[in-house]
Amino acid sequence: MPSSSVEKVREAKLEAPLPFIDLAAQRDRIRPALDAAIRKVLDHSHYIMGPEVEVLEKNLTTFCGAKHAISCSSGTDALLMVLMAKGIGPGDAVLCPAFTFTATPEVVALLGATPVFSEVLEDTFNVDVNSLPAALDAARKAGLKPKALIAVDLFGQPADYDAIEAFAASHDLWVLADAAQAYGATYKGRKVGTMGLSTATSFFPAKPLGCYGDGGAIFTNDEVMAVVLDSIRVHGKGEDKYDNIRVGINGRLDTIQAAILIEKLKIFADEIDARDHVARSYADALAGIHGIAVPVVPEGYRPVWAQYTLRVPAAKRDAMAQRLKRSGIPTAVYYPRALHHQTAYRSYPVPATGLAVSERLATEVLSLPMHPYMSEADIARVAKAVAASVGG
């Protein structure tokens, strides 16, 4: 059960209109600590790579168990920096799921390499390992050299890393875990941040652990990788920022954002418990409603519930969303079009077997309000509205 601190905030927000993500409740809970942390940065005035950045990185590694955390300017830059560190470029293929946010293939294409799309599972929304051989075949038929596999932990649930890492090892690929939505989740006793060669995450405000602007981090147990990433985020620095030993980017995390994340991380474990409680309550409340499918959590997985995403009849989804909106229940569609159907990615390889599941999910997914400060009354209200809307 969530702590009394979370319960007090829930009670205070009980009569308020339902937000999709309630960042205000979290802010109010820790406002004095946030104000003090920001004031401290203003006082010492080290706004770029100030002392809070190093403290945050240490705290992040302590939380997830990785040896190194390299903070950076966004989750997208986190992905990009890992690919840069590994020298990904023209002629290389990187396998990516077709059902995810554009940042995943975007960073591959930005480096002149080729994203090759693979299929996902309809119940967990994550990479279908059985589809990877066909994606690998598509890459080779296109004359590309497969180098890496990006596994996305969509909606806060880890992908099946045992199977993914085994496949990658057998085909001489390395794995980048795209955990933009999943820092704080657990996979069979392993914390997100310890999968693959490196794990990238985002601190975008709406993420389970978010700052008040853009931010991200990379986790790795590889000593050499950590040194290279530290260089890349400061324009490829060597001994100092004017000794450029490689091409890099301006990928630093602002000190104020680090200070905010330090305070948010202190309550993060409590919020994860609260998110899990909300998800379980949703599952109970929505059970038996004909025509919807609730998220599936395999044994040994613990999602961090960045989103709570249903599958609903494609023909009814838009009308359902409108009915829920009229009832004061906001919804969102992540993502309304599979990546290989988007203009920017239509020319990239897809398996000969197609990507039917990704295409179908894009027409069926509907995400409900999800945050740690939802009350039981909020959850019941959402479930009642869902039941009424799906039958309409």
Could you read off the pLDDT of 9-53 as tens digits, one per residue? 555 444 457 999 999 999 999 999 999 999 999 999 999 999 999
% of the chain at pLDDT higher than 70: 96
For residue 12, the model assigns a pLDDT of: 46
For residue 288, the model assigns a pLDDT of: 87
% of the chain at pLDDT higher than 90: 93
Q: pLDDT by residue (tens digit) across 123-149?
A: 999 999 999 999 999 999 999 999 999
Distance CA 276, CA 295 (A): 12
Tokens (6 digits) for 23: 């960042």
The whole-chain average pLDDT of the chain stands at 95
- Nearest CA to 358 among 306, 322, 311? 311
pLDDT (average), residues 264-271: 98
pLDDT (average), residues 339-347: 97
Map out the domains of the chain with their CATH numbers.
4-15+268-390 (3.90.1150.10), 31-266 (3.40.640.10)
Distance CA 236, CA 242 (A): 9
Q: Is the pLDDT of residue 3 over 90?
A: no
Q: pLDDT by residue (tens digit) across 107-118?
A: 999 999 999 999
User: What's the number of CA atoms in the CB half-sphere (13 Å) around residue 175?
Assistant: 28
For residue 163, the model assigns a pLDDT of: 98
For residue 206, the model assigns a pLDDT of: 97
For residue 8, the model assigns a pLDDT of: 57
Q: pLDDT by residue (tens digit) across 351-377?
A: 999 999 999 999 999 999 999 999 999
Distance CA 269, CA 276 (A): 11
For residue 114, the model assigns a pLDDT of: 98
Q: Which residues of 313-336 are buried (b: 16+ CB within 10 A; e: fewer)?
A: eeebbeebbebbeeeebbbbbbbe
Exposed/middle/buried for residue 118 (C-beta within 10 Å: 0-12, 13-18, 19+): buried
For residue 15, the model assigns a pLDDT of: 47
Three-class DSSP labels, the chain:
CCCHHHHHHHHHCCCCCCCCCCHHHHHHHCHHHHHHHHHHHHHHCCCECCHHHHHHHHHHHHHHCCCEEEEECCHHHHHHHHHHHCCCCCCEEEEEECCCCCHHHHHHHHCCCEEEEECECCCCCCECHHHHHHHHHHHHHCCCEEEEEEEECHHHCCCCHHHHHHHHHHCCCEEEEECCCCCCCEECCEECCCCCCEEEEECCCCCCCCCCCCCEEEEECCHHHHHHHHHHCECCECCCCCCECCCCCECCCEHHHHHHHHHHHHCHHHHHHHHHHHHHHHHHHHCCCCCCECCCCCCCEECCCCCEEEECCHHHHHHHHHHHHHCCCCCECCCCCCHHHCHHHCCCCCCCCCCHHHHHHHHHEEEECCCCCCCHHHHHHHHHHHHHHHCC
Spatial contact of 67 and 220, defined as CB atoms under 8 Å apart: yes
For residue 16, the model assigns a pLDDT of: 53
pLDDT band at 5 (very low <50, low <70, confident <90, very high): low
Output the pTM of the full model.
0.94
For residue 391, the model assigns a pLDDT of: 76
Spatial contact of 136 and 146, defined as CB atoms under 8 Å apart: yes
Q: Is the pLDDT of residue 70 over 80?
A: yes
Residues in the chain: 392
Q: Is the pLDDT of residue 261 over 50?
A: yes
Q: Is the pLDDT of residue 6 over 50?
A: yes
For residue 14, the model assigns a pLDDT of: 45
291: amino acid identity, one letter: G
